[in-house]
Amino acid sequence: MEVVVGRIGRPHGLKGEVTVEVRTDDPEGRMAPGTSVRTDPPAAGPLTIADGRVHSGRLLLVFEGYADRAAAERLRGVLLVADVDPDERPEDPEEFFDHQLVGLRVRTVGGEDVGILHEVLHLPGQDVLAVRRADGGEVLVPFLQAMVPTVDLDAGEVLVDPPPGLLGPVEDGVDPPVAEDPPA
């Protein structure tokens, strides 16, 4: 099964380095110098990693054939993909591959059916579960331990403990307070 292991971001510096949003539990193995990686879109690759380093907590990679900033800019937004055994699970029991989560039933800890998890969004600083509701709507749940206390792959479900208002209007009919814009 093909999974996304990274997303190329903006260039860093003038010599072809790019930032990479890591989406794998094994970046040292999957993104080591000399490694060839497939891409999405396929026309962008395959890419061979020439060099890599961590700078200020961010992975920076250089790909063969992309020696300057202008060339590196053409890679922005390209996904890096790898083959993974569909039954493989990350070593940490609290980590999951996106493909393991997509399709799971989502329920509240109180037993209310929320819907089907249809996508894991990797936003800057936060992963979010996109859940398709039975009425066709969508609800977004931050993938935090406090809001997603249980992921049970064997049972095929995710339990969520959302704060009032996250899944819709509060039961007593009063919407939660909305933060006001600060005065200009």
Whole-structure pTM value: 0.60
Q: Is 26 part of any domain?
A: yes
- The torsion defined by the Cα of 170, 174, 179 and 180, in degrees rounded to 10, comes to 160
Q: Are 1 and 86 in contact (CB under 8 A)?
A: yes
Together in a domain, 107 and 148: yes
Per-residue model confidence as pLDDT tens digits over 154-169: 899 999 999 888 887 6
How far apart are the C-alpha atoms of 3 and 23, rounded to whole Å?
9
Mapping DSSP to helix (H, G, I), strand (E, B) and coil, where does residue 3 land? Answer: strand
Q: How many helices (H) and strands (E) in the chain?
A: 3, 12
Domain end call among 53, 83, 113: 83
| CATH code: domain of residue 27 | 2.40.30.60
Give pLDDT tens digits along the chain (184 positions).
Answer: 777 888 999 999 888 899 998 877 677 878 889 989 999 899 888 999 999 888 888 889 999 999 899 999 999 999 998 887 777 776 777 778 788 889 999 999 999 999 999 998 887 778 899 999 988 889 999 999 999 999 998 899 999 999 888 887 655 555 455 555 555 5
Domain final residue, candidates 36, 58, 83: 83
pLDDT over 70 for what percent of the chain?
88
Same domain? For 11 and 63 the reply is: yes
Residue 175 belongs to some domain of the structure:
no
- How many domains does one find in the chain? 2
CATH number of the domain encompassing residue 126: 2.30.30.240
78: which DSSP letter?
P
Summarize pLDDT for 11-43 with one digit per residue, the tens. 998 888 999 988 776 778 788 899 899 998 998
- For residue 10, the enclosing domain spans 2-83
